[in-house]
């Protein structure tokens, strides 16, 4: 199984990978949604017919096609069809609205824009018209269709830029990140091989497929030949029925997903939430050690966490074979093709999974050092075994009276406080100190709100140095998060409480 997956991972293009898997296991399922089942053979056949329909509409190799679609079988078929054509595709998270969508369409110069029509009470077609989008077409329940005999040959090169993904744009306009088929295959291979998968697994995609994690997961399915359940709308406890009905063995998404599953498990202690679940896996945000321990202890499964970003979809990944300490305290190890260099405490990256840069040449020039390493802005260190430990973001270092304070260190400790549901620590401007430490705590259900005295006493008890103690506490119902992996938006906290 492992040898087959590694052999498939040598495919030059995503379409070549689809064809290889379809030839190996044409009748095995790949996508499950509600009562629908799509096999690997049908994925190839239907995607090729969709490619022919797009070709008849005027889409050619190199044509830029943006799409803003929910996580559905049709969305996966469309993206594979565009890969078959060799078009350049620009996925847009379906929760983005006029400002972000208009920016992405203008910057990418998209010639076509696929939308879901009216979805979850919002008219995406009308928004596309307001944004001046060209070639708008709806691709929710049906897709273009045509005769594959009219198609040109599939793309031969996997190193041409064929994907434009968008950073979150949390502090300024988003950046268009340029990827190739090979960079996405390399990222998905890292995820797949680390998790020790088999064709008997049942995966799940509960996050937007338009996120960079979408192709990561699709590559994983193609390499190992197992299916995933798609969730167009993810919410707990409603989604649990689908997890149980399909016998999902692998779930996750990000730290926020772990916390949501754990909260549901605590409603029914002693009964496993998803009986078939053996592994929670994800990334995209820091993972507090106390949360990791609680998930493993109470949900009776393994939790592996990884490190990735839009620019590099998978950098490191924890493995079920790792020691407990490495699973709790590190982000896993990189694959053989990923070089990690630590420069003045900052993580830098070079390898096949690294993007080609940005649409803006100036941003590209600023992002890479003289040796071609991507400057991530993340702080960390490598252990003797090659595992990566992240210690925070460079911009999350709080400088109080000339002393550097790691926000992540304080957050990890506060996750052990029983009145803390979740927490984000930020530095706020302060005339006397330069910056002061502010902890923004999300309420835990069924307990009294903590006070500043409560949390500082708790932190003193952990041995935290006095100069790192928070000087301001804000308690909220929910922390502001993005819509993709539900990562906390710290810039909004700084704006609110400064």
The CATH code of the domain that includes 412 is 3.30.300.30
- Out of 331, 363, 393, a domain closes at 393
Both structure tokens of 418: 């029983």
Same structural domain, 306 and 437: no
pLDDT, tens digit, 9 for 90 and up, residues 385-441: 999 999 887 778 888 887 788 888 899 999 999 999 999 999 998 877 888 999 999
Residue 462 tokens, joined: 């952990």
**Strand 36-39 to 29-33 pairing:** antiparallel
Q: What tens digit of pLDDT does each residue of 257-292 get?
A: 998 999 999 999 989 999 999 999 998 777 888 889
Domain limits at 227? 1-393
Share of the chain above pLDDT 70, in %: 99
Q: Looking at the structure, do residues 168 and 35 belong to the same domain, yes or no?
A: yes
* Total number of domains constituting the chain: 2
In tens, the pLDDT along 214-243 reads 999 999 999 999 999 999 999 999 999 999
- As beta bridge partners, residue 442 has 422, 476
pLDDT of 118 > 50? The answer is: yes
Q: Residue 374 and residue 340: Cα distance in Å, rounded?
A: 10
Q: Is the pLDDT of residue 13 over 70?
A: yes
| Same domain, residue pair 332 and 477 | no
Residue 323, pLDDT score:
96
Report whether pLDDT(3) > 90.
no
- Judgement on whether residues 419 and 317 belong to the same structural domain of the protein: no
* 337 pLDDT above the threshold of 80: yes
112 pLDDT higher than 60? yes
Residue 453 is classified by DSSP as H
Asked if residue 171 has pLDDT above 70, the reply is: no
Q: Which two tokens stand for residue 22?
A: 């379809």
End residue of a domain, out of 377, 393, 409: 393
280 and 374 part of one domain: yes
Where are any strands of DSSP class E within 413-497? 420-430, 434-443, 472-476
Q: Is residue 342 located within the same domain as residue 414?
A: no
204, 169: one domain: yes
User: Is the domain of 128 the same as that of 21?
Assistant: yes
Q: How far apart are CA 303 and CA 320, in angstroms?
A: 8
Asked if residue 280 and residue 160 are part of one domain, the reply reads yes
Tell which residue, 146, 30, 161, 144, has the closest CA to residue 78. Answer: 144
Other Cβ atoms closer than 10 A to 394: 14
The pLDDT of 452-456, averaged and rounded, is 95
Indicate if 376 and 430 belong to the same structural domain.
no
Residues contacting residue 461 through CB under 8 Å, at least 6 positions apart = none
24 and 162 housed in the same domain: yes
Q: Are 228 and 31 in contact (CB under 8 A)?
A: yes
In degrees, rounded to 5, the angle at the alpha carbon of residue 162 between the alpha carbons of residues 161 and 168 is 90
Whole-number percent of the chain with pLDDT over 90: 79
Cβ-count burial 295-309 (b if 16+ within 10 Å, e if not)? bbebbebbbbbbbbb
172: confidence class by pLDDT, cuts 50, 70, 90:
low
The yes-or-no verdict on residue 92 having pLDDT over 60 is yes
Q: Is 379 helix (H, G, I), strand (E, B) or coil?
A: strand
Q: Is the pLDDT of residue 16 over 60?
A: yes
Q: Are 174 and 167 in contact (CB under 8 A)?
A: yes
Among residues 373, 393, 413, the one where a domain terminates is 393
255 alpha carbon, distance to own chain's centre: 11
Pull the structure tokens for residue 55: 């070709």
If DSSP codes are grouped into helix, strand and coil, which group holds residue 256? helix
| H runs (alpha helix) in 358-480 | 361-367, 407-414, 452-462
pLDDT category at 115 given cuts 50, 70, 90 is: very high
pLDDT tens column, 476-498: 999 998 776 778 888 889 889 98
CATH number at residue 145: 3.40.50.12780
Residues 198 and 312 placed together within one structural domain of the fold: yes
Give bridge partners of residue 380 from the DSSP assignment: 390
Q: Specify the pLDDT at position 484.
A: 65
């Amino acid at each position: 199984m492992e040898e087959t997956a590694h052999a498939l991972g040598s495919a030059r293009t995503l379409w070549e990978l689809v064809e290889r898997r379809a030839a190996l296991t044409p009748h095995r399922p790949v996508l499950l949604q509600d009562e629908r089942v799509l096999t690997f053979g049908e994925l190839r056949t239907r995607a090729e017919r969709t490619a022919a329909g797009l070709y008849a509409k005027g889409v050619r190799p190199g044509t830029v096609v943006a799409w803003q679609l929910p996580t559905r079988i049709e969305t996966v078929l469309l993206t594979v069809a565009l890969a078959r054509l060799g078009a350049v595709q620009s996925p847009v998270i379906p929760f983005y609205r006029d400002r972000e969508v208009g920016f992405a369409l203008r910057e990418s110069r998209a010639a076509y824009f696929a939308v879901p029509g009216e979805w979850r009470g919002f008219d995406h077609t009308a928004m596309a018209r307001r944004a001046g989008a060209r070639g708008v077409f709806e691709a929710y329940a049906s897709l273009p269709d045509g005769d594959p005999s009219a198609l040109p040959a599939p793309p031969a090169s996997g190193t041409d830029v064929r994907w434009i993904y968008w950073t979150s744009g949390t502090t300024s306009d988003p950046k268009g990140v340029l990827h190739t088929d090979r960079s996405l295959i390399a990222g998905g291979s890292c995820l797949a091989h680390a998790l020790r998968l088999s064709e008997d697994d049942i995966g799940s995609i509960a996050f937007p497929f338009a996120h960079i994690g979408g192709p990561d997961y699709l590559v994983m399915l193609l390499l190992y030949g197992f299916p995933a359940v798609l969730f167009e709308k993810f919410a707990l406890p409603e989604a649990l029925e689908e997890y149980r009905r399909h016998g999902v063995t692998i779930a996750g998404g990000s730290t926020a997903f772990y916390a949501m599953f754990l909260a549901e498990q605590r409603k029914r202690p002693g009964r496993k939430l998803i009986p078939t679940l053996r592994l929670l896996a994800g990334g995209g945000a820091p993972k507090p050690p106390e949360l990791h321990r609680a998930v493993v202890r109470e949900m009776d499964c393994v939790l592996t966490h990884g490190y990735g970003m839009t620019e590099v979809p998978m950098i490191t990944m924890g493995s079920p074979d790792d020691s407990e300490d490495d699973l709790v305290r590190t982000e896993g190890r990189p694959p053989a093709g990923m070089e990690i260099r630590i420069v003045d405490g900052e993580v830098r990256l070079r390898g096949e999974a690294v993007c080609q840069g940005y649409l803006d040449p100036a941003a590209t020039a600023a992002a890479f050092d003289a040796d071609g390493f991507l400057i991530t802005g993340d702080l960390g260190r490598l252990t003797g075994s090659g595992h990566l430990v992240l210690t925070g973001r460079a911009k999350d270092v709080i400088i109080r009276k000339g002393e550097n304070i790691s926000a992540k260190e304080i957050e990890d400790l506060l996750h052990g406080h029983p009145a803390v549901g979740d927490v984000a620590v930020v530095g706020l401007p302060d005339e006397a100190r330069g910056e002061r430490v502010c902890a923004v705590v999300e309420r835990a259900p069924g307990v009294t709100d903590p006070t500043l005295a409560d949390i500082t006493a708790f932190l003193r008890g952990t041995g935290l140095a006095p100069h790192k103690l928070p000087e301001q506490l804000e308690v909220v119902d929910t922390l502001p998060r993005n819509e993709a992996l539900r990562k906390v938006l710290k810039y909004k906290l700084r704006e609110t409480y400064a």
